[in-house]
Structure 1
Amino acid sequence: MALVLGVGASTVSAANVPEGVELAAQQEIVFNNQSEPATLDPQKIEGVPGSRVARQLFEGLVIQDEEGNILPGVAKSWEVNDDNTVFTFHLRDAKWSNGDPVTTSDFVYGWQRAVDPETASPYSWYIEMTTMKNAADIVKGNKPPTDLGVKAVDDHTLEVELDQPIPYFIRMLGHTTMVPAPREVVEEYGDAWTRPDHMVSNGAYRLTDWVVNERMVLKRNTSYWDNEDTVLDQVTILPVASENAELSRYKAGEIDLTGGSTPLAIEHYRQLKKDIPEQIHTTGQVGTYYYSFNNKRAPFDDVRVRKALSYAINREVVTDKITGQGEIPAYSFVPEITAGFSPEEPDWAKLSQQERVEKARELLEEAGYGPDHPLEVELLYNTSDNHKKIAIAIAAMWKQTLGVNVNLVNQEWKTYLATERAGNFDVARAGWVGDYNEASTMLDLLTTANGNNYPKYSNAEYDKLMSESKTIVDEQKRNDLYAKADAMLSRDMPVAPIYQYSTTRLVKPYVGGYPEANPEDIFYFKNMYITKH
């Protein structure tokens, strides 16, 4: 415990503050989320902007430490039966922000709500991937949500039954879809339950203000079970999409942490490395930046067209000249940093860029395209300076090497998500950050039934491999199946991997407790604090 002294502040003790650190009198922080979340309903969230905020407002059975290791959350302990199909969780004495106790029934309701087709959760597939009993049939509408394999034995004992064991089940419980839901509030207010005047949450913070496209304000939830170790009293979250505007506001002292979802402009990054290197924090991430091909729309249903466009992307130019902050050119969908998995380099990645371009020309010509019949492509991306730069660069590569005519389409986050979901695109900018640190978090995305499989890739052999992998306890054997699945993606090219993510974030020197090594870029403001400055 630490004795913390701040001018005008009372003495504070907090387990996450190092001994002797002096805290500022005002414990408030401003974070730029870079996009306006489409929703803060945990069972309806998709994408990083929403989950980042929800992680501060809600807490599931488990959370993570600064290096990505699993820690107890609302569950203080758990045990599993001999065949790893029945998990029993013991809840601590936690409370909602209105003072009501958090019980096992809140988890049962939240999870049943996520798989209920009426909820239309974009992450219903995720619970199906946990192999929770009857989840697949419920998602398909063949069984009622009440048949889900989760039971409130009593208010503090939760039993979860799986159809088959998966070795990373506990890791999967850290996702925001898996948090509890306050039934009475949801049923009373419907979709309006996430408004500040209605929302009840069980995390370290509660939502007190939300001005769309301007700011969210989160204040400390004094009913949170670990409130005594929380130091920050207020978190203000901004939706500034422009990296240039974000940097200007950071320099002006209006932002304490930048978003990190997209890289800083490379010209700014190089100057910042000279001027304030100690404020630049870069971490490798389990995630891939890629372009989705609409596998159900001609001519992108032709693997030759997909491969030609992918081969013609000069990934080194993107990572060296546009992003330039530790990103690694991606030739496989699963990033190298993924725990326990080393992707095998595909044959086309071993070619020089000129050889790839020559192969791309051959493929496009075979598919019936050339100077007299150029391919027309509409490229969709969401609002961001860097997404725009990358789209312009890749459009130029396609035009110069293949004669492809590209029409760029920019949409703000909510509209972009809806367009992707509806399949109204030729090629779309996309990115996937792992929901847990294991190769399946990437590979499951492209299984036929996955709700976020916007490219609409469907391959029975691939689906079978991924289904079989969930029955394999031995990590090496499981990773052998993952390698086959990854190679299949390289063969079928439903998406074009461009680079492996790294997170580069500007953090003010007076911000303490920022996690330096979480491979999923998961952080909790409850672990941060403002030092005297």
Structure 2
Amino acid sequence: MNVSTKSILLASALALASPALAAAPEGVALADDQTFTYRVLDEHSSVDPQIVEDVSGSEIVRDLFEGLYNQDADGNLVPGVALSHTVSDDKLTYTFTLRPEAKWSDGNPVTAHDFVYGWQRLADPETASPYQWYVEVMGLANAGSVMAGEAPLEELGVRAIDDHTLEVTLEKPMTYFPLTTTHASTFPSPKWVIDEHGADWIKPGNIVSNGAYVLTEHVPQERSVRERNPMYWDNENTVIEKVSALVINDENVALTRFLAGELDRTEVPAGQYPALKEEYPDTALSFPRLCNYYFNFNLSENGPEATQDVRVRKALSYAVNRDIIVENVLQGGQSPAYTFTPAATAGFEQPATDYSTWTQEERNAKAVELLAEAGYGPDNPLSLTYLYNTSEAHKKVAIAVSQMWKQTLGVDITLENQEWQTFLETRGNHDFEIARGAWCGDYNEASTFLDLVQSSSGYNDAAYSNAEVDALLAEAKSMDDPQANYTRVEEIIAEEMPIIPIYHYAGVFMMNPAIVDSWPVQNVEQNWYSKDLYKVAQ
């Protein structure tokens, strides 16, 4: 649904004025079993709020820690540690009032100082956070100079007025700033625990957290378990007692275990949704998600010579039949992507890029023409390597696209897969030719996607740099209506093709019918909190 940013903030303000609600509606008959067990593809990157960089890790962190604001089932802001905030007349200063009853799992009060420490820790070059750049995304005053080590941490635009009052100063007005505070990297951190345990502070037995759950078990590459935190300020309204994330690398094995009753949620394997929906209509779900799937070209000095040529990049993009990917390979409600930003993004109108209006036959013909102009063909064949992280679904997409490139362009593709942590490191080091990319919005505004093609972004894995894009995105942050800037950035992406948009996600799950009623299917960000879930009696 296209909703303006102003409308979102108004809705958020209204939501923030509402009291916290019990997870289970009155009159609902609850099941005796209130545990939630779900499958994840890979071992998460971390449960340290300032280190975590992946979706599965962030899901765990949202249970263990709580930031200023949370989201409700529709994606609106609701109180977390912060009860409310005010904004100065110049829109540069946000003052948050924190709830006095918030506690850490060791009984210490959660204070504004814990947020200051967490945000400074995120910005600190010594932390080496993969999400360090997020302090600039948030627009915090002096973020750039602090990140570069040119200014002391104390100059970052955040300070504690007192234990329960947090003041945030922005570099310039940014209408969607409150939306950024639901991200894991902005959560508070317990300095006294980190000082004592160092990098081991996140291990069960050491970790102290302020969310609805505490980490009780972690077996790397196998499982992570969290259980209710009795110190959490709203513990009496939490229903789910224990949450387990099981690492299962094979989607089909996970489906088998789901059907055997071992899991409450798992992803539907690529291509199987139609049959599963027919057989299990109350269990198979598909709904829009705020995520994109794309390919990165390596435009750094390490990248191959061929893809430095925009004609080659365009040829490879045009030759991808996105309709086949979503309709024949995935079959789960995904949509073909011709822009980087998904249609589900609030306040964003997808521009019609030139090649999105062509037939696939027209795209293929143009691709052949461009590749020939670049000097590649039967007498000079093009060979490239495509890197993806291990997954049956990613493999199917890779095979399909490599066949399209071979059949349409005669390009030979070598497929290479790596496990998640190795893949992140390889891609981050620009040690690839073409690599899979995927991004789920950190907040519901187009900049969460388009900032990835900004020159200094920590996740600009293509190493793309365009001065006009940088200027447009910088200007957009303080505009009341940045649509024109976003449209132009999308046009430039289509003109220069540093990445290939492939499709926009759907959430495609098999889910225990007992928990479906409490799952936030209307929240396109899919920021879910176990404290808001419950199982109904069947």
Name the TM tier (shorter chain): over 0.9
Match of 1:205 in 2: 213
Letter of the 1:166 counterpart: M
Map of 1:61 onto structure 2: 68
- Picking from 384, 389, 401, the partner of 1:382 is 389
Local SS of the residue matching 1:278: coil
* Alignment partner of 1:182 is 2:186: no
CA contact (8 A) 1:31 1:257 kept: yes
- Equivalent residue in structure 2 for 1:352, among 349, 359, 363: 359
> Partner letter of residue 318 of structure 2?
Y
CA distance in 1, matches of 2:337, 2:165: 44
What aligned pairs does 1:113-124 form with structure 2 within 5 A after superposition?
A: 113-124=121-132
Q: Which residue of 1 aligns with 2:291?
A: 287
- Give CA-to-partner distance per residue, 1:1-28, whole Å, 9 cap, x none: xxxxxxxxxxxx9822122222222321
Coordinate RMSD, CA, aligned: 1.3
- Corresponding residue for residue 130 of structure 1: 138
Local SS of the residue matching 2:469: helix
Q: How far 1:388 moved relative to its partner?
A: 0.3
Residue 489 of structure 2 is matched in structure 1 by 485
Q: Distance in 1 between matches of 2:397 and 2:270?
A: 11
Q: Distance in 2 between matches of 1:185 and 1:31?
A: 29
- Is 1:399 the equivalent of 2:406? yes
Residue from 48, 65, 81 that aligns with 1:41: 48
| More off after superposition, 269-278 vs 387-396 | 269-278
- The answer to whether 1:526 aligns with 2:538 is no
Paired residue secondary structure (2:472):
helix
Q: Is the 8 A contact 2:226 2:244 kept in 1?
A: yes
1:218 aligns to what?
A: 226
Question: Quick one: which amino acid aligns to residue 264 of structure 1?
Answer: P
Letter paired with 2:532: N
Residues 409-466 of structure 1: CA deviation (Å, up to 9, x unaligned): 1111111101111101111111111111111111011100100111111001100000
Cα 1:351–1:146 change in 2 (3 A) is same
Aligned pair count reads 514
Q: Is the 8 A contact 1:244 1:265 kept in 2?
A: no
Question: Could you tell me which residue of structure 2 aligns to residue 257 of structure 1?
Answer: 265
How far apart, in 2, do the equivalents of 1:398 and 1:243 lie?
26
Q: Who is 2:10 aligned against?
A: none
Q: Aligned with 1:300: secondary structure?
A: helix
The C-alpha deviation readout for 1:39-97, integer Å capped at 9, x for no partner, is 11110111212111111111100010011111111001110100110000011020111
Give the gaps of 5 or more residues in structure 1.
Answer: 1-12
Distance 1:275 1:289 in 2: 28
Match of 2:342 among 327, 335, 338: 335
Q: Whole-Å Cα distance in 2 between the matches of residues 128 and 25 of structure 1?
A: 46
Partner of 1:90: 97
Q: Judge conservation of contact 1:14–1:230 (CA < 8 Å) in 2.
A: no
**One-letter code aligned to 2:147:** V
Q: Which amino acid letter does the alignment assign opposite residue 530 of structure 1?
A: K
Q: Does 1:112 align with 2:120?
A: yes
What does residue 495 of structure 1 align with? Answer: 499
SS in 2 for 1:32: strand
Give per-residue Cα distances to partners, 1:252-286, cap 9 Å, x unaligned.
1010011x4xx5321x3222111111112222112
Gaps of 5+ in 2: 1-19
Distance 1:300 1:145 in 2: 40
2:443 pairs with 1:436: yes
Identity level (%) = 47
Q: CA–CA distance in 2 between the matches of 1:189 and 1:370?
A: 59
> Deviations for 1:302-339, whole angstroms, at most 9, x for unmatched residues?
21111111111000000000111111100011111111
Amino acid at match of 1:235: V
Q: What TM-score do you get using the length of structure 2 for normalisation?
A: 0.94
Q: Which residue of 1 aligns with 2:308?
A: 301
Matches within 5 A, 1:413-452: 413-452=420-459
> Does 1:508 find its partner at 2:512?
yes
SS in 2 for 1:335: coil
Task: Output the CA distance in 2 between the equivalents of 1:398 and 1:335.
Answer: 25
How far off is 1:361 after superposition?
A: 1.4
Q: Which runs of 4+ in 1 moved over 3 A?
A: none
Match for residue 154 of structure 2 among 132, 135, 146: 146
Please tell me whether the aligned partners of residues 387 and 432 of structure 2 are also in contact (alpha carbons under 8 angstroms). yes
Offset of residue 250 of structure 1? 0.5
- Aligned match of 2:78 in 56, 62, 71? 71
CA distance in structure 2 between the partners assigned to 1:349 and 1:233 by the alignment: 48
TM-score under structure 1 normalisation? Answer: 0.95
SS at match of 1:379: strand
